[in-house]
Amino acid sequence: MATPEEIAANIAASQARRAASSKRVEEKKREAELHPQEAWHGKLVGFIVHTRKDKYKPFVASVYNSHGDNDSMISTVGSQDAMDTLEEARACLLTDKETKFERIFLNPVKSGGMMGTWLNELLAANPVQ
C-alpha cells in the first residue's frame, strides 16, 4: 500500500506533467499564429494561372514552407494543358476526385515566370468566404 507521501508525490508529478503538456500546446498555438503557413506544409493545392497568352492553366502543387519570410513556395507536381476559358480550368480541378486537395483556389493568378507562385499570392486572390 502506498504511503501518504508517495500518493502526494504521484499527484504532484501528474500535475507537473499536465502543466508541461498544456504549455507545449500553448506554444504550438502561438507558433501557428506567428507562422500560419506551417499548417500548409506538404499539402496539395489546386490553382489556376492566367497565362500571358490569355489562357487558363490548372495546376496541382505541393506547398513548401520557406521559414522566415511568412510565405510558402508552391511546387508544381502536375498540370493540364492551357484552356480557353476559366470555367474549363475550374471544372478540371473540381472534377479531380483522386487528388486529396487541402484547398482548390478557383480565382486565377497571373503567371509568375521563373519564380513561380507563392501561397500568399493565392490566398490574397482567393479569400475565404
Q: State the CB neighbour count (10 A cutoff) for residue 91.
A: 13
- The C-alpha atoms of residue 57 and residue 80 are separated, in whole angstroms, by 6
Q: What is the pTM of this model?
A: 0.69
**CA distance linking residue 68 with residue 24, whole number of Å:** 22
Q: What is the pLDDT along the chain (129 residues), one digit of tens a residue?
A: 789 898 888 898 889 888 888 887 777 666 556 556 777 889 999 999 999 899 999 999 999 876 666 788 888 999 999 999 999 999 999 999 999 999 999 999 988 666 678 888 888 898 875
